[in-house]
Amino acid sequence: MAETVSERQIGDVVLDLRNISLAFGGVNALSDISFDVREHEIRAIIGPNGAGKSSMLNVINGVYQPQQGEVVLRGQRFEKMSPGHAARAGIARTFQNIALFKGMSVLDNIMTGRNLKMKSNILQQAVWWGPAQREELAHREKVEEIIDFLEIQHIRKTPVGRLPYGLQKRVDLGRALAMEPSILLLDEPMAGMNIEEKQDMSRFILDVNDQLGTTIVLIEHDMGVVMDISDRIVVLDYGKKIGDDTPDEVRANPEVIAAYLGASH
Amino acid sequence: MIYRENGQFKTSYAADQQIFPIRQDRYAIAALLVFAFVGVPLLADEYMFRAILIPFLILGLAALGVNILVGYCGQITLGAGAFMAVGAYAAYNFLARVDGMPLLGALLLGGATAAVAGIVFGVPSLRVRGLYLAVATLAAQFFFDWAFLRIKWFTLDSSSGSVSVSNLEMFGWTINSPVEKYLFCLGLLAVFALLAKNLVRGAIGRQWMAIRDMDVAAEVIGIRPMYAKLSAFAVSSFIVGVAGALWGFVHLGSWEPAAFSVDRSFQLLFMVIIGGMGSIMGSFFGAAFIVVLPIFLNQALPWLGNLVGVSISTVGVSHSEFIIFGALIVFFLIVEPHGIARLWSTAKEKLRLWPFPH
């Protein structure tokens, strides 16, 4: 896609989550969670089912509003983040249960990811010839680069509803990449995939991180993958943070082992 | 064998993004346009124009408008008839009250007024969806039915509430005979169909479809639901409003509020469901189907009855019309929710491969 950044430099904190608490009715989904994400790193969030991982991503990009705490994005505080704010601030995400636009083709799905960058007005679009067409073609070229990168050229005109699961996951990633995000949130990008698909997906994630310098926040259940590709890991259990460290430290953390294996120690 | 794009390679994205990327389709649509503009006026008689072709064109335009809202943006509406009425009465008022208002100007201003009404009655869509939204748009229907019947200002104080327009003229062209009316409507329909197609294949169309298919994901990638939904309401109501003005001015000549009752709203919705949601072509299939079917049944049923020795009364025919309509809508909702347009595109896909199985 872009020229390769050879040495990946982990930078300053770009995203800081401070004392986030989120409850639905009487159920505490997240209680007093703080962690930060540094520029260019791959940050994983792990934990058993129902630990609050997806809720955490939903707080980051404004789908849920936490009752307490704040999201600080590049020094800017958001007490109420909205999905629109997050998108404009360069946060993109993929979804656990693929949320593609089913009635549209792969190409249109990814093109939709560029909506914030398209500026022609409704009259220009109705006329088509002129500004609207030029803009459409320019963005088409960008989208084709993403299609090449994800190796999905052969299905670009296929309605996404007809695609197998693994390819839909790739299109979901493609749509997020089309936003040219600085922070990419991935919600279980490899769930339900076989080993080959997981390898492909890991490669895409590493390439995005390495070549585009995109900061990645990742939820994943496959421990092998998580330990391999992430720089730092947050561990959640029942809405509480029980670990936050490098993969090796997390692996050795007795609390984490207990949460996962239920072992007494 | 004949319908195949072998050897037609696209070498630019512009070529790939044409409305009809396959050469045979371009020839077919050109032939169809020539036939519609030149062939039909030579062949059809006055009855054909008055009873079939002009209603088909105008209702096709209205169905196109409804399809943008229902089919592309996924916002169900039962107020289309009301927006037709707004378009018709607004255009009438602009024509009657403003000196020297040209016909086309009045039609477009009628559409613009309907667009504003559409935006106002589209506001509930920001909070409610599905059935609840349908009920909210039904409010538009009853409100405007009432307004045009009771507020005399809209009808220039005519005692019966009915208004009439005569002497349609545009750029020195008097639109009097059925052929002229047909050509006028056809021209408008062709232009609007092209503009609508451009919208739905462009950025705004993708926003509408994104809201329709998965609104949470749409919001996460930065689409503003308010803008997407209200722009769909505006564009849809604009087209429906122009169609309403044409229906009053060109087809009816003189009309009263009952011409745009809730029946019309349902009829337009059925056209979209049967023709194909989310397809420009489908709007025309649906309109053709619903305009032609009653006439066909009128002719065919008594004849079929005679064949088996039963005489079917006129009442019987009109009742069976309802039965067949109802059955067809249920059929399409269950078997082919994408309507005739999907059957058409499936047929084309098969034809591309024929005679090979795949």
Q: What is the band of B217 on the pLDDT scale with cuts at 50, 70, 90?
A: very high
pLDDT score of B290 more than 50 = yes
Q: What is the largest CA-CA distance in chain A?
A: 70
Q: What is the pLDDT of residue A113?
A: 94
Return residues 48-87 of A near B (CB < 8 Å).
61, 63, 83-84, 86-87
Which two structure tokens, joined as six digits, stand for A223? 């421990």
Average pLDDT of A223-245?
91
Q: What is the pLDDT of residue A205?
A: 95
With CB atoms and an 8 Å threshold, state whether A118 touches B203.
yes
* Per-residue pLDDT tens digits for B70-111: 999 999 889 999 999 999 999 999 998 888 888 999 999 999
Q: What is the pLDDT of residue B297?
A: 80
Q: How far is CA B348 from the centre of its chain?
A: 23
How far, in Å, CA of A179 to CA of A90, rounded?
A: 7
Q: What is the band of A262 on the pLDDT scale with cuts at 50, 70, 90?
A: low
Q: What is the pLDDT of residue B349?
A: 81
Smallest Cβ–Cβ distance between B220 and the set A93, A101, A103 belongs to A93
A161 neighbors A103 (Cβ within 8 angstroms): yes
Other C-beta atoms within 10 Å of A34: how many?
Answer: 13
Q: What is the pLDDT of residue A3?
A: 46
Q: What is the band of B325 on the pLDDT scale with cuts at 50, 70, 90?
A: confident
* Per-residue pLDDT tens digits for B200-211: 999 999 999 999
How far, in Å, CA of A214 to CA of A205, rounded?
A: 9
Return residues 160-189 of A near B (CB < 8 Å).
175-176, 179
* Per-residue pLDDT tens digits for B148-197: 888 888 888 777 778 888 777 778 778 788 898 999 999 999 999 999 99
* Per-residue pLDDT tens digits for A155-185: 999 999 999 998 999 999 999 999 999 999 9
Return residues 187-246 of A near B (CB < 8 Å).
none
How far, in Å, CA of B243 to CA of A119, rounded?
A: 30
Q: What is the pLDDT of residue B339?
A: 85
Query: What is the DSSP-derived secondary structure letter of residue A62?
Result: T
Residue A141: enclosing H or E segment and its boundaries?
Answer: helix A131-149
Q: Which residues does chain B have within 8 Å of residue A63's beta carbon, measured at their own beta carbons?
A: 216, 219-220
For residue B189, give every residue at least 6 positions away whose Cβ sits within 8 Å of its Cβ, in sequence order, or none.
B57, B60, B61, B64
Calculate how close chain A gets to B198, using CA atoms only, in Å.
5
> Exposed, middle or buried, B202 (CB in 10 Å: 0-12/13-18/19+)?
buried
Which residue is it, tokens 């960058």? Answer: A117
Calculate how close chain A gets to B197, using CA atoms only, in Å.
8
- Single-letter code of the amino acid located at A114: R
Which two structure tokens, joined as six digits, stand for B141? 């229907």
Smallest Cβ–Cβ distance between A99 and the set B199, B214, B235 belongs to B214
Which residue is it, tokens 């107020």? Answer: B79
- Single-letter code of the amino acid located at A218: L
Which residue is it, tokens 């089912």? Answer: A49
Alpha helices (H) in A78-164, listed in sequence order: 83-88, 106-112, 122-127, 131-149
Average pLDDT of B138-155?
88
CB proximity A116 to B under 8 Å: yes
Smallest Cβ–Cβ distance between A104 and the set B195, B209, B219 belongs to B209
With CB atoms and an 8 Å threshold, state whether B221 touches A87.
yes
Q: Which residues does chain B have within 8 Å of residue A161's beta carbon, measured at their own beta carbons?
A: none
B55 neighbors B251 (Cβ within 8 angstroms): yes
Q: What is the pLDDT of residue B2?
A: 67
Phi-psi region of A262 (alpha: psi -120 to 50; beta: other; left: phi over 0): left
∠ Cα B86 B87 B92 (to 5°): 100
Mean pLDDT taken over chain A: 90
Q: How far is CA B230 from the centre of its chain?
A: 19
CB proximity B112 to A under 8 Å: no
User: Which of the pair, B5 or B115, is modelled with greater confidence?
Assistant: B115
Average pLDDT of B310-329?
81
**What's this model's pTM, rounded to 2 decimal places?**
0.91
Nearest CA in chain B to A161: B213
Residue A243: enclosing H or E segment and its boundaries?
Answer: strand A240-245
Helices B178-201 & B54-67 angle (0-180, nearest 10)? 20
CB proximity B5 to A under 8 Å: no
B58 neighbors B241 (Cβ within 8 angstroms): no
Q: What is the pLDDT of residue A2?
A: 46
B181 neighbors B293 (Cβ within 8 angstroms): no
Nearest CA in chain B to A108: B206
User: Which of the pair, B293 or A152, is modelled with greater confidence?
Assistant: A152
Q: Which residues does chain B have within 8 Å of residue A83's beta carbon, measured at their own beta carbons?
A: 216, 219-220, 222
How far, in Å, CA of B353 to CA of A166, rounded?
A: 28
A226 neighbors A199 (Cβ within 8 angstroms): no
Kindly report the backbone phi and psi dihedral angles of residue B164, in degrees, each rounded to the nearest multiple of 5, phi listed first. -140, 150
∠ Cα B201 B206 A215 (to 5°): 130
With CB atoms and an 8 Å threshold, state whether A112 touches B218.
yes
How far, in Å, CA of A199 to CA of A190, rounded?
A: 9
Helix (H, G, I), strand (E, B) or coil at B270: helix
Domains of chain A, start order:
1-90+181-265 (3.40.50.300), 101-179 (no CATH)
With CB atoms and an 8 Å threshold, state whether A126 touches B213.
no
Q: What is the pLDDT of residue A265?
A: 47
For residue B338, give every residue at least 6 positions away whose Cβ sits within 8 Å of its Cβ, in sequence order, or none.
B276, B277, B278, B279, B282
How far, in Å, CA of B247 to CA of A195, rounded?
A: 62
Calculate how close chain B gets to A69, using CA atoms only, in Å.
21
SS3 content of chain A, % helix, strand, coil (to 5): 40, 25, 35
